[in-house]
Amino acid sequence: MKKTILTTLYLLTLIILIGFMTLSTGATFSPRAVLKEIAARQDLGHGSYLLEIEAVSYQNGNEDLARIGVYLDQEDRQLVTFEEPERMQDDCYLVVGYNTWIFQQGMRRPLRISAQQKLFDEAGIAETVGLDYLNDYRIEEVLETPSEYELTLVALDKRTAYRRVTLWLSKQNRNITKSVLMAVNGQPLKELTFSNYRSVNGHELGEITIKNLLLEKSNYTTLKFLRVLKKKIPDAAFQPMMMGKVKQFIGDDSHSASDNKNKSGQE
């Protein structure tokens, strides 16, 4: 009888401990805190940087490659240029807050466009320059699976490129594993899958695979960060009417990716 009572007490204590641990784990999870942690590991929120990106597009069995430079400015401005392919070397895109422009050879002045528009095959402008899940969205709902947290995000401003987002966070490494970008009515537009996180010049970044859910789903484009350099360019480079002179502002940086492609990913 004594043995039975001790066994019962042991089992009850074990159940209570497991329950307490479960509650403690759930109580300590803060989705906003995790998003802040991710942003801190990326460490791109302060200062000005040049991101050198290799984009590879897979379309119906054909492969195409681009080398992209994204200039990040601490004033919430992004400038995008191309080193490759040759046909896009005179293209540039400018994002200032919620406004986006394109300038191509032959244009008299830049054209204002949506940040959802294509930059390179499946990769749109907004997801290439970087979506700010922490500051541009509020968390509407959090669901939990054995391995992930699923966050439903709603844009704080109606001018945000993607008004709704579903975001998956890994419990194991507290990184983003996937996001689905949606229209205001909830229609899925793009699927972004994140993998192979690594330190790129001290900034933790993952490779991104992008699918356009409105088109052929077997086609996709990958973005791989080659280098992250501290780089400040003149304020004039972020003025729409100066986009035709952008090469004068960035100097020789458009050649840095090819000059260093053998060094990419080694840090």
CATH number at residue 165: 2.50.20.10
How much is the pLDDT for 57?
A: 96
Closest CA to 161 of 112, 99, 207, 103: 99
Q: Which residues contact 4 (CB under 8 A, 6 or more apart)?
A: none
Residues 127 and 55: their CA atoms lie apart, in Å, by: 12
Q: Is 147 part of a structural domain of the chain?
A: yes
- Is there a domain that residue 14 lies in? no
* Residue 227 lies inside a defined structural domain of this protein: yes
**Domain membership flag for residue 27:** no
Give dist(CA 59, CA 48) in Å, integer.
Answer: 34
* Residue 5 covered by a domain: no
Q: Judge whether 31 lies within some domain.
A: no
- Give the pLDDT mean for 157-168: 96
Q: Is the pLDDT of residue 144 over 80?
A: yes
Per the prediction, the chain carries an average pLDDT of 86
Q: What is the pLDDT of residue 92?
A: 96
10 Å CB burial of residue 167 (0-12, 13-18, 19+) is: buried
Residue 173 in any domain: the answer is yes
Top pLDDT among 227 and 22 is at 227
Domains held by the chain: number: 1
Whether pLDDT at 207 is above 70: yes
pTM for the predicted model, two decimal places: 0.83
Give 152-212 as a DSSP string.
Answer: EEEESSTTSSSSEEEEEEETTT--EEEEEEE-TT--EEEEEEEEEEEEETTEEEEEEEEEE
Residue 174 has pLDDT above 90, yes or no: yes
Q: Does a structural domain hold residue 203?
A: yes
Domain that holds residue 130: 40-260
Which structure tokens are listed for 256? 């840095």
pLDDT of residue 75: 81
